[in-house]
């Protein structure tokens, strides 16, 4: 029975809060804290219109570890779930260390002034979390998150060695706007406009942004064009999978989305370099974010499905084997259950499951962990019953 502090009241935080409120056997109460307290209040009201559950709200600027530490001291949670932005990861981890509380997030740290994300900054907390006897679970969304766990499941149950992994993230959702991003526009656009990168035979191979692409037939979605991108789970999986020769990440985009993005990029609207406008410093990408639809507002409008999964090839008992593990999620069903579309849902449900397993003692450890380092079985079982059932196809030469 545990109280949890949830920081960040966007689409992902909202789904985590909904799922927690459905699970009183593990979670006793919830504090939702964010920069704009009105968003916490809105989530609280949406949940309490559906079911009674004890929820408090609070204002916090999580860029400041001392503010987070004060909140922890006041509410004494068993766990802090970070669904704010990657910029806040380190300050929230600092506060957890100071106050002796476990930590969970869905996206790795990214400095606000450099469009670069990597685990190094958070892996550097390893010794401090271990010495304090605390657990930090990193990247527990869908990708990263479930995709890592699909790989861990394949490694445990299907392969002696995994040689090739292709992670494929397809979204056929239609929200009716000419252009909008499905999660935080700033983080999303920084990710997409970066160079592509994949890991092969021990080295990183770099490509121009969106230069490698191919058609792909996604189960239940149909034909989509998928683009090779760098994605953060590649960094931990290339260390944690045995015998790996190559790992890549692909994401689907419509031609309409890419045309809008190209225009915005060409006129400088995706830049993170500050400019002076009418005597004020503004960051073009942050201004663009203010102009675009709030991802949380896409929920009631979005129709269609997502399909995210892993194609894994390797060897079992000397015989080549191929496994495809994936989940299909319906935007409208996700909205009916949690007032959020499938992108927030597919991220928030795994964060909730990770929190549940940590609080129930099924996932424990001292130090900083990526999810594939944990036993995949209890997580795979929870996915089946918490709204993200998975399908597996196995193709073996034996
Ligand atoms: N692993 C995955 O599969 C995956 C997929 C999608 C997203 N994500 C990650 O999930 C996280 C949340 O995404 P989202 O779509 O829910 O984003 P979002 O809608 O932009 O919500 C972010 C929330 O964090 C709050 N926030 C921002 N800065 C803050 C600060 N300094 N102090 C306190 N709160 C702050 C925002 O407050 P305001 O309302 O005041 O702006 C907002 O409520 C992001 O880190 C994203 O990268 C992971």
- The Cβ-side half-sphere exposure at 314, using a 13 Å CA radius, reads 28
Residue 116 has pLDDT above 80, yes or no: no
Residue 162 has pLDDT above 80, yes or no: yes
Domain membership of residue 82 (yes or no) is no
Mean pLDDT lowest among 31-35, 41-45, 95-99, 189-193: 189-193
Instruction: Note whether 98 and 70 are within 8 A (CB).
Output: no
Residue 9: CB within 6 Å of ligand 1? Answer: yes
What CA–CA distance (Å, rounded) separates 322 from 108?
Answer: 29
Mean per-residue pLDDT of the chain: 95
Spacing, Cα 83 to ligand 1 middle (Å): 5
Q: Where are the alpha helices (DSSP H) in the chain?
A: 11-21, 37-48, 65-75, 89-99, 120-123, 126-132, 146-157, 185-192, 233-240, 255-266, 284-291, 331-338, 342-359, 376-385
Domain membership of residue 80 (yes or no) is no
Spacing, Cα 78 to ligand 1 middle (Å): 21
What CA–CA distance (Å, rounded) separates 15 from 342?
Answer: 10
Place 139 in a pLDDT band, splitting at 50, 70 and 90: very high
What CA–CA distance (Å, rounded) separates 4 from 8?
Answer: 13
Domain membership of residue 328 (yes or no) is yes
Total structural domains within the chain = 1
Domain membership of residue 14 (yes or no) is no
Q: What is the mean pLDDT of residues 31-56?
A: 98
Q: Specify whether the backbone of 291 is left (phi greater than 0), alpha (psi in -120 to 50) or beta.
A: alpha
Domain membership of residue 290 (yes or no) is yes
Residue 33: CB within 6 Å of ligand 1? Answer: no
Residue 306: CB within 6 Å of ligand 1? Answer: no
Contacts by residues 234-238 (CB-CB < 8 Å, ≥ 24 positions apart): 234/197, 234/198, 234/199, 235/108, 235/118, 235/119, 236/119, 236/138, 236/139, 236/144, 236/148, 236/370, 236/372, 237/148, 237/151, 237/165, 237/372, 238/199
Domain membership of residue 309 (yes or no) is yes
Write out the residue range of the structural domain in which residue 285 sits. 146-339
Residue 348: CB within 6 Å of ligand 1? Answer: no
C-alpha closest to that of 153 among 371, 364, 352 = 371
What CA–CA distance (Å, rounded) separates 25 from 229?
Answer: 40
C-alpha closest to that of 356 among 89, 24, 124, 129 = 24
Spacing, Cα 9 to ligand 1 middle (Å): 7
Residue 85: CB within 6 Å of ligand 1? Answer: yes
- Which ligand 1 atom lies nearest to the CA of residue 62? 32
C-alpha closest to that of 307 among 386, 223, 233 = 223
Domain membership of residue 47 (yes or no) is no
Residue 87 has pLDDT above 90, yes or no: yes
Which of 84, 180, 194, 372 maximizes ligand 1 atoms within 8 Å of its Cβ, making it the mutation to test the pocket?
A: 84
Residue 397 has pLDDT above 80, yes or no: no
- Residue 170's φ and ψ, nearest 5 degrees, are -115, 140
C-alpha closest to that of 244 among 156, 164, 144, 158 = 164
C-alpha closest to that of 354 among 342, 369, 339, 335 = 369
Q: Give the burial string for 8-21 (b: 16+ CB within 10 Å, else e).
A: bbbbbbbbbbbbbb
User: What pTM does this model have?
Assistant: 0.94
Residue 106: CB within 6 Å of ligand 1? Answer: yes
Q: What burial class does residue 89 get, using C-beta atoms within 10 Å of its C-beta: 0-12 exposed, 13-18 middle, 19+ buried? A: buried
Place 94 in a pLDDT band, splitting at 50, 70 and 90: very high
Domain membership of residue 390 (yes or no) is no
Residue 68 has pLDDT above 90, yes or no: yes
- The Cβ-side half-sphere exposure at 47, using a 13 Å CA radius, reads 28
The CATH number linked to 158 is: 3.30.360.10
């Amino acid at each position: 029975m545990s109280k949890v502090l949830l920081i960040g009241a966007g689409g992902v935080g909202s789904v985590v809060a909904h799922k927690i409120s459905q699970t009183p056997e593990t979670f006793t109460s919830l504090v939702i804290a964010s920069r704009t307290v009105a968003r916490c209040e809105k989530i609280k009201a949406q949940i309490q219109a559906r079911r009674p559950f004890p929820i408090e709200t609070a204002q916090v600027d999580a860029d400041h570890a001392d503010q987070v530490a004060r909140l922890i001291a006041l509410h004494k949670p068993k766990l802090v779930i970070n669904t704010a932005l990657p910029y806040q990861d380190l300050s929230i981890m600092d506060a957890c260390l100071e106050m002796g509380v476990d930590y969970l997030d869905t996206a790795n740290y990214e400095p606000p002034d450099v469009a670069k994300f990597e685990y190094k900054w958070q892996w550097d907390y390893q010794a401090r979390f271990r010495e304090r006897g605390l657990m930090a679970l990193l990247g527990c969304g869908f990708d990263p998150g479930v995709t890592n766990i699909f790989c861990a499941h394949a490694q445990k149950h299907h392969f002696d060695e995994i040689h090739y992994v292709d992670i494929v993230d397809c979204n056929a959702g239609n929200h009716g706007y000419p252009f909008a991003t499905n999660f935080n526009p700033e983080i999303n656009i920084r990710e997409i406009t970066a160079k592509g990168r994949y890991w092969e035979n021990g080295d990183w191979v770099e490509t121009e942004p969106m230069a490698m692409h191919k058609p792909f037939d996604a189960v239940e979605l149909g034909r989509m064009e998928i683009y090779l991108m760098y994605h953060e789970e590649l960094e931990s999986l290339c260390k944690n999978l045995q015998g790996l020769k190559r790992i890549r990440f692909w994401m689907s985009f419509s031609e309409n989305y890419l045309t809008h993005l190209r225009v915005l990029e060409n006129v400088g609207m995706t830049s993170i370099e500050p400019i002076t406008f009418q005597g004020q410093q503004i960051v073009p990408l942050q201004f663009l974010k203010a102009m675009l639809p709030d991802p949380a507002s896409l929920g009631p409008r979005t129709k269609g499905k997502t399909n995210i999964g892993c194609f894994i090839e390797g060897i079992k008992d000397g015989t080549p084997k191929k496994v495809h593990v994936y989940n299909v999620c319906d935007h409208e069903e996700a909205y009916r259950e949690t007032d959020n579309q499938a992108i927030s849902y597919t991220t928030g449900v795994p964060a909730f499951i990770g929190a549940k397993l940590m609080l129930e003692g099924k996932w424990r450890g001292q130090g900083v962990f990526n999810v594939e380092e944990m036993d995949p079985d209890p997580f795979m079982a929870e996915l089946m019953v918490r709204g993200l059932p998975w399908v597996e196809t196995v193709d073996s030469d034996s």
